[in-house]
Amino acid sequence: MKNVIVVGSGAGGATVARELAKNRIKVTLLEKGCSTPVDKAHQYYDNLDVGVELLKTTCLGGTTLVTAGNAVRTCQEEFKEMGINLENEFQEVEGELNVGTLPDTHFGEGTLRIMEASSVLGLPMEKMFKSINPHECIPCGMCALGCPRNAKWSSLKYLEEAEKLGVKIIDNSQVTQITTNNGHVTGVCSHDKKYSADLVILCAGAIETPRLLRSAGITAGKKLFVDTFVTVGGVLEDINFYKEVSMNALYKGDGFILAPHYSGLLTSRLEKQGFSESDILGMMVKIKDEGSGCVGEDAVVKNNTSHDAGLLAEGSALAGAILTEAGVDPSTIISTPARGAHPGGTAAIGEVVDRNLETEIRGLYVCDASVFPSAPGAPPVLTILALAKRLGKHISHYTKKHA
């Protein structure tokens, strides 16, 4: 029986650990962060200033605890062109997460105004696919802080199943090095312990994964995208948009998306003019940014290119027009600074890993957004889950074949 170590407990790590355990493969999962109740996840934001502020969390379950619950397919065609057909895996994941749009009862006035205004301007929005249980969800605007009712899917659900299937989960255990011998992986080291393994799967995220790869002598981290975004918003008094389900609708532009979105950064500026969070209506502009960043040993750098700036400007102009049509006072419209939420590309397929997500070192795999060849420009969780399912099947098949 193969002994597998999975590093990281987010979308990729939880899924691949669960898939392997279902096939009776021995798995130990190591997580840098600690375990936390879902509604306390906001306490574990571990943001980085990399030129843009990069939003991330360090805890068991990772960033899946603080997503907006969006469940859209991203990069499916790009992967297919590389010989990676994820259709079956997407269907499996969508079934397990009960992916679908929320009922009309879960669309607030602010979101509906934005959708109507978009339609009037010839920019029709569609309802966002979500992995949220509408029977448990009472709209409160807390998605990105950790759902207080646990109505949203997070990788904790897969981790619970994995643990019941025999996966050993060790939190507060930061992996610092990959060990190898003659081109084969042999295990990992944490600060105080060595773990031996036949296979190692890195799911530590696009910042930590390339650093761990370099500890094994693999060049990684030379490019980085972050799905750069801004939130554009202004005043529509007493709209109470901040309490609504975040990003409940979607407009797909050329290289960017628009979605209803509230940010406290808007309120912190507009409250100086006498307005409160209940008076703000906003939209996210998220772009497919270029992989112009890098992850070094001591620093992470990501600056917006002129192409990125152009997409942000185009999307922001449309968002401003939609908000104005929705009733926002145009003289109050402002934008947050550029931020990033979906780092990736630091160990891309075809550059650092092959189509089976294996590196040049036998038995060393990567399964997180690091392997994406380009920015999705939209929430990548569903695609990471599909990739992890595919990898779990590949390893399980290989293990049985060579048992």
Contacts of 299-305 with CB under 8 Å at 24 or more apart are 300/48, 300/50, 300/54, 300/207, 300/224, 301/50, 301/51, 301/224, 302/50, 302/51, 302/52, 302/54, 302/224, 302/225, 302/226, 302/340, 303/51, 303/52, 304/51, 304/52, 304/228, 304/338
pLDDT cut 90: percent of the chain above it? 96
Which two tokens mark 399? 């293990």
Beta pairing partners, 235: 280
What's the distance, CA 305 to chain centroid? 22
Residue ranges of domains in the chain, CATH in brackets: 3-99+146-220+345-401 (3.50.50.60), 104-141+224-340 (3.30.560.10)
Residue 149 DSSP one-character state = T
Contact 383, 12 (CB under 8 A): no
Residue count (the chain): 403
What distance in Å separates the CA atoms of residue 361 and residue 102, rounded to the nearest whole number? 44
209 pLDDT more than 70:
yes
CA 191 to chain centre: 27
Give the span between the Cα atoms of 64 and 93, in whole angstroms. 15
Query: What average pLDDT does range 46-74 have in this prediction?
Result: 96
DSSP 75: S
Q: Residue 267 carries which side chain, given as an amino acid letter? A: T
Tell me the C-alpha distance between 383 and 230, whole Å: 23
Whether residue 401 is predicted with pLDDT greater than 80 in this model: the reply is no
Mean pLDDT of the chain: 97
Work out the percent of the chain whose per-residue pLDDT is above 70.
Answer: 99
Strand partners, 358: 365
pLDDT tens-digit profile of 278-313?
999 999 999 999 999 999 988 999 999 999 999 999
β-pair type (26-30, 334-335): unpaired
Spatial contact of 384 and 11, defined as CB atoms under 8 Å apart: yes
286 three-state secondary structure:
strand
Map residue 148 onto helix, strand or coil. coil
Which two three-digit tokens encode residue 346? 């630091």
pLDDT at 90: 99
With a cut of 60, say whether residue 1 has pLDDT above it.
no
What pLDDT is attached to residue 96? 98
Average pLDDT over residues 330-349: 97
- In this prediction, residue 403 carries a pLDDT of 64
Cα–Cα distance measured from residue 309 to residue 298, given in angstroms and rounded to the nearest whole number: 27
Overall average pLDDT of the 176-188 stretch: 98
- pLDDT tens track for 105-130: 999 999 999 999 999 999 999 999 99
More confident residue, 19 or 191: 19
In tens, the pLDDT along 363-399 reads: 999 999 999 999 999 999 999 999 999 999 999 988 8
Which pLDDT score is estimated for 297?
86
* Ordered alpha helix ranges (H), 169-230: 205-215
